[in-house]
């Protein structure tokens, strides 16, 4: 008994009071170290994403009109960057007041989540701008995210590790899980709604029924529709998956707290990078939400009988320039309709309801819609 006591005294004397890990059990110390590494890597990835898009951000700020979506974009970008940086500082640096820093982290979480979610809402509003009920529904979902993230802003707390100035987060209240849950629900509905809208505006092979492969993967869709779906939606699908993982970890009692906080920080950064990437691509025309309604115009024009007074005449449809011409082949007498929408040219034989689309500039690829 005396030997055990003496060994404990010797071990206690060998502890370095300046090393915070010495005041944690070995397993928790290991988990905290891994979490710190992942957070530092997350900061690096986020900064790299910002630096690689400096040119696009400069154009948004100085060459485009500053609008509410653009302001939301920069607010989201800045708040997420500060949120991740403060988390890394909290995890790795000696701080005089852990409680204040942790409260700051939680408030930044609220701002970052709410502004990123607002980018999701602004995109879905642009697509469903003619449907007030859909816009109202997604606005309510965004308000749910706003309220859910407020729960985190009210529960954050931290303590010092022993006599050191390093910090350790305390357990989070269970009701704070409302934040990732509402965000995951919002992301999922946005993803499915936009996928459904693309599906409804695309002519499908009648031999295939609408299902998971159509809505999520775009399988059996024509190439042009599938490109719209995959180019824009793949980023939201990544965000949805990441948020579902966060929700699962929140309710998994066997997952250490350090890992939960680590993946929360990673998820905020990843979701923001995906949402901002979609916004930039949409703003600069790499893929456009209004292409959906434009394609509906093309599809409907392709079904018109243009043999009468419209033959050989141009027609203008806002917001794109749409020209419709009809001509008869000298060889077999077949009448062909040609619809030009912006830089996209569609040719429709009289005998079919499918449009053959070719871009007149920017690409040599042919697509079928």
> Looking at 94-103, 170-179, 358-367, which range is the least confident one?
358-367
pLDDT in tens, 295-329: 444 444 444 443 334 333 433 333 444 444 545 54
Q: What is the pLDDT of residue 77?
A: 95
Q: What is the pLDDT of residue 194?
A: 82
Q: Which of 259, 234, 227, 232 is nearest to 246 (CA)?
A: 259
Give, in degrees to the nearest 5, the angle at Cα 330 between 308 and 302: 40
Mean pLDDT of the residues in the chain:
73
C-alpha dihedral sign at 255, 259, 261, 264:
negative
Q: What is the mean pLDDT of residues 350-358?
A: 42
Taking CA atoms, 351 is separated from 72, 296, 333, 356, in Å, by 48, 20, 12, 13
In the chain, which ranges are continuous DSSP H helix?
Answer: 2-14, 26-52, 54-62, 68-92, 98-127, 132-153, 178-200, 212, 223-251, 257-283, 290-302
Beta carbons of 368 and 322 less than 8 angstroms apart: no
pTM for this prediction: 0.70
Q: What is the pLDDT of residue 319?
A: 42
pLDDT in tens, 96-146: 888 888 889 989 999 998 999 999 999 888 888 888 999 999 999 999 999
- b/e code 25-62 from CB counts within 10 Å (16+ = b): eeeebebbeebbebbeebbeebeebbeebeebbeebee
How far apart (Å, rounded) are the C-alpha atoms in residues 302 and 336? Answer: 10
Domains present along the chain, CATH in parentheses: 18-288 (1.20.1070), 304-368 (no CATH)
> Looking at 40-44, 64-68, 224-228, 317-321, which range is the least confident one?
317-321
Q: What is the mean pLDDT of residues 25-37?
A: 88
Residue 307, token pair as written in the block = 């043999």
DSSP 358: E
Asked whether the predicted pLDDT for residue 365 surpasses 50, the reply is no
Residue 284, token pair as written in the block = 């600069």
Number of other residues whose CB lies within 10 A of the CB of residue 149: 24
Asked whether the predicted pLDDT for residue 288 surpasses 80, the reply is no
Across 65-69, 161-165, 221-225, the highest mean pLDDT is recorded for 65-69
Q: What is the pLDDT of residue 310?
A: 39
Q: What is the mean pLDDT of residues 50-67?
A: 90
Number of other residues whose CB lies within 10 A of the CB of residue 125: 17
């Amino acid at each position: 008994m005396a030997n055990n006591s003496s060994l404990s005294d010797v071990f206690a004397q060998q502890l370095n009071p300046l090393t915070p890990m010495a005041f944690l059990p070995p397993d928790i110390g290991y988990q905290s170290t891994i979490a710190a590494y992942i957070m530092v890597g997350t900061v690096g990835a986020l900064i790299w994403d910002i630096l690689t898009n400096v040119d696009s951000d400069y154009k948004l700020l100085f060459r485009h009109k500053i609008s509410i979506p653009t302001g939301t974009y920069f607010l989201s970008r800045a708040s997420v960057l500060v949120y991740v940086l403060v988390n890394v500082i909290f995890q790795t640096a000696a701080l005089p007041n852990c409680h204040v820093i942790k409260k700051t982290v939680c408030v930044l979480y609220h701002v970052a989540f709410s502004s990123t979610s607002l980018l999701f809402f602004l995109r879905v509003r642009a697509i469903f701008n003619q449907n007030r009920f859909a816009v109202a529904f997604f606005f309510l979902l965004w308000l749910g995210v706003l309220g859910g993230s407020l729960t985190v802003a009210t529960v954050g707390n931290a303590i010092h590790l022993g006599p050191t100035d390093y910090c350790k987060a305390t357990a989070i209240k269970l009701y704070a899980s409302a934040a990732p849950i509402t965000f995951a629900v919002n992301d999922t509905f946005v993803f499915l709604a936009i996928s459904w809208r693309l599906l409804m505006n695309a002519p499908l092979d009648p031999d295939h029924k609408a299902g998971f492969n159509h809505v999520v993967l775009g399988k059996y869709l024509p190439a042009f529709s599938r490109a719209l779906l995959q180019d824009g939606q793949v980023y939201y699908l990544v965000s949805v998956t990441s948020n579902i993982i966060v929700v699962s970890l929140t309710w998994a009692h066997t997952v250490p707290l350090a890992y939960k906080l680590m993946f929360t920080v990673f998820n905020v950064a990843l979701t923001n990078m995906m949402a901002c990437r979609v916004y930039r691509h949409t703003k600069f025309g790499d893929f456009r939400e209004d292409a959906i309604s434009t394609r509906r115009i093309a599809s409907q024009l392709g079904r018109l009988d243009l043999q009468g007074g419209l033959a050989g005449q141009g027609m203008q449809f806002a917001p794109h320039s749409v020209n419709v011409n009809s001509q008869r082949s000298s060889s077999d007498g077949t009448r062909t309709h040609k619809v030009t929408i912006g830089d996209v040219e569609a040719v429709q034989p009289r005998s079919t309801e499918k449009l053959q689309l070719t871009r007149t500039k920017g690409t040599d690829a042919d697509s079928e819609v």
